[in-house]
Chain A
Amino acid sequence: MSDFIGDWHALFVLLVAGVIPNQIWRLLGLWFGSGLDEGSDLLMWVKAVATAILAGVIAQILVQPPGALASVTWGLRYGAVVAGLAAFLASRRSIFAGVVCGEMVMLAGKWWLG
């Protein structure tokens, strides 16, 4: 059972570094977002920034890859995304086609390069 729980210090770190930093922003959104109008310029700007920050996270995972992804060369990582994008566009915006094609290119490339 103690294996399941782990140590209390790690759970405390989860609260401080994981839960609180996320919930603060959600509560701020709840607090300040209530007076905003759906079509307002401010909301449109905020939405554009949110999209761009998500794009930044996507780029970060590709540029500074975590864990096992770091074992894939950068050319293969970018190549897989470009191939996936081509499949996504060619299949009239199928997320499934894009993801499968990107993964296949990465796996094939890794197998090929050893």
Chain B
Amino acid sequence: MTLPPLDSPQWDGSLKAFAFGLRATSATILSVVLFVTFIGIGALAHDTHFSMLWAILSTVLVWAGPAQIILVSTLGSGQTILQSAIAVTMSAIRLFPMVVAVLPLIRGPNTKRRHLVLIAHLTAVTLWVECYRFLPHVPRERRIAFVHGLGSGLMAVALVATIIGYLLAANLSQTFGAAVLLLTPLAFLFSTLRNARELADVLALGLGLVLYPVAAQLNSGVDILISGVVAGTIAFGAHKWRERREAA
């Protein structure tokens, strides 16, 4: 999908920008990935004996694939609410930097914090990745409406998939169940790699992959956080070091 030029009259009005955002959902392979990921989540929720309403609410209110997978599998394996909550909180920490990184792309000089509440809720890995791709082609004063459209479109895709996955679950064999669950790491790995522009991004991804199994040996309950901060900091340090060397 090609968006109109930044100064085009087609951008007049928030409703049009919302519609462009909604339509952008159909222009990305990540919608397919999202669809299949949430089929997996719906199926997992069914297999761990949660209700359909539970699965629907988890997609709409949690709106973070990895967190939902962690929540369903920890609760399903009989861990306490506290342990699940800690595991989910740790996986959700990455939403903090995502929101922090997305908002400056969207905020204009007159934007109030309350205008951004819905965007903060819609922010998750797919939206984060797509904002970097689409927003340079959207006029700044229309970005809030555009992202509202993009986010609601993505959520609608995920919601339909959750329901289909839940209904399919009874018929999914173990092999296909495994195939659906493997989609999540494959899709997230390649979409992040595709959008990695700087050395720091690639390094953070690679080091994060390699360091997690090491950190997991600690069995601290916050292993993902430890490997993430260490890998991210090294990647950032390497980037700064190279920047300084090039400047010198």
Contacts and interface: CB of A to CB of B under 8 A. Distances in A.
Interface of A: 3-7, 10-11, 13-34, 36-38, 41, 43-69, 71-72, 77, 80-81, 84-85, 88, 93, 95-96, 98-99, 102-103, 106-107, 110-111
A25 B123 CA distance: 11
**Chain B interface size, under 10 / 10 to 19 / 20 to 34 / 35 or more:** 35 or more
Candidate in B44, B92, B125 with the most chain A CB atoms within 10 angstroms: B92
Contact of A106 (B89, B100, B179, B203): B179
Contact of B101 (A43, A52, A93): A43
Contacts of B216: 60, 63-64
Interface in B41-60: 44, 47, 50-54, 57-58
Given A55-B209, A68-B181, A110 B103 contact: no
28 contacts: A6-B54, A10-B51, A18-B68, A22-B63, A22-B64, A26-B96, A29-B95, A29-B96, A29-B99, A34-B103, A34-B113, A34-B116, A38-B104, A44-B236, A52-B227, A53-B93, A53-B228, A55-B208, A55-B209, A56-B224, A59-B227, A65-B181, A66-B44, A68-B174, A88-B193, A103-B179, A106-B182, A110-B178
B189 A51 contact: no
B29 interface: yes
B137 interface: no
Contact of B188 (A20, A30, A43, A57): A57
Interface string B182-205: 111111111111101000110111
A60 to B, nearest CB: 6
B239 interface: yes
Contacts, number: 313
A63 to B, nearest CB: 5
B33 to A, nearest CB: 7
B72 to A, nearest CB: 8
Contacts of A45: 232-233, 236
B54 A33 contact: no
B116 A59 contact: no
Contacts of B98: 29, 50
Q: Which of A55, A80, A103 has the most CB of B within 10 A?
A: A55
